């Protein structure tokens, strides 16, 4: 299989059906692919919608329900263990990552056999508070986490071998991009759009981002 698209889902009942439609529109006829939704024990009907998508399109859609909320990075890592594709895409549930850029990530990977290709957002569409907090977090991590790419994002392509390698790493707090930085320098970027949020709110509050940063620094800093 060419490609696995992994989508960790927390509160995506208003967006995941549309995301599924956009992914199919982009990839149909171009790639042999699958979509894996990882339901990270949220608080809405996302799992019910995932089950409907599996029933209506079982050759493309797979889904897994985690028994509790493990967080986005752990959910994505779990999805990687279930992937069949030679290349793996991770993307968010909220439609801010545009599936139309998936072929761009793949094309870039093929130009240099890169282990990882990040979607680099040309303009981030977050609230002022979220944008400020995310910028601060990024500066801290670039300063203290060895090897982390300055343009890391959750919209990323990984070779299957890289996904397998970072799943071997055991940390008290998993951070995919820190693990990538420890394992390869063969990283590229592609400039992509970052769409405005059309439904719901980000699950990353300022304090949640701060907690996230502290745990990462404890587990990955120099």
Q: pLDDT tens across 151-208, in order?
A: 999 999 999 999 999 999 877 789 999 999 999 999 999 999 988 877 656 666 667 7
pLDDT of 124 reads 64
Please state the rounded mean pLDDT for residues 63-79: 96
Taking Cα atoms as reference points, which of 15, 174, 217 lies closest to residue 79?
Answer: 174
Alpha-carbon span 102 to 90, nearest angstrom: 10
All structural domains of the chain with their residue ranges? 3-124+153-196
pLDDT at 126 over 70: no
pLDDT digits (tens, 9 = 90+) for 86-97: 999 999 999 999
* CB atoms closer than 10 angstroms to residue 101: 18
| Residue 199: closest CA among 88, 82, 96 | 96
Residue 222: predicted pLDDT: 65
**For range 49-71, the mean pLDDT:** 98
Instruction: Locate 108 and state its tokens.
Output: 């870039």
Asked whether the beta carbons of 70 and 9 are under 8 A apart, the reply is no
CATH code for the part of the protein at 3-124+153-196: 3.90.550.10
Question: What pTM did the predictor assign?
Answer: 0.92
């Amino acid at each position: 299989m060419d490609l696995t698209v992994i989508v960790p889902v927390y509160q995506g009942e208003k967006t995941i059906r549309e995301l599924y439609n956009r992914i199919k529109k982009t990839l149909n006829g171009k790639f042999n692919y699958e979509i894996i939704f990882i339901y990270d024990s949220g608080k809405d009907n996302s799992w019910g919608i995932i089950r409907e998508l599996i029933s209506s399109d079982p050759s493309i859609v797979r889904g897994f329900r985690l028994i509790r909320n493990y967080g986005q990075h752990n959910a994505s890592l779990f999805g990687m263990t279930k992937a069949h594709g030679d290349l793996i895409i991770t993307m968010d549930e909220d439609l801010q990552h545009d599936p139309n850029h998936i072929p761009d990530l793949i094309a870039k990977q093929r130009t240099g056999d890169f282990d990882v290709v990040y979607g680099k957002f040309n303009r981030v569409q977050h609230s002022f508070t979220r944008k400020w907090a995310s910028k601060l977090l990024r500066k801290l991590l670039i300063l203290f986490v060895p090897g982390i790419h300055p343009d890391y994002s959750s919209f990323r392509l990984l070779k299957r071998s890289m996904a397998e390698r970072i799943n071997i790493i055991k940390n008290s707090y998993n951070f995919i991009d820190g693990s990538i930085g420890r394992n390869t320098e063969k990283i590229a970027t592609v400039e992509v759009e970052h769409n405005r949020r059309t439904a719901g709110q980000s699950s990353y509050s300022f304090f949640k981002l701060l907690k996230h940063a502290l745990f990462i620094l404890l587990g990955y800093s120099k």
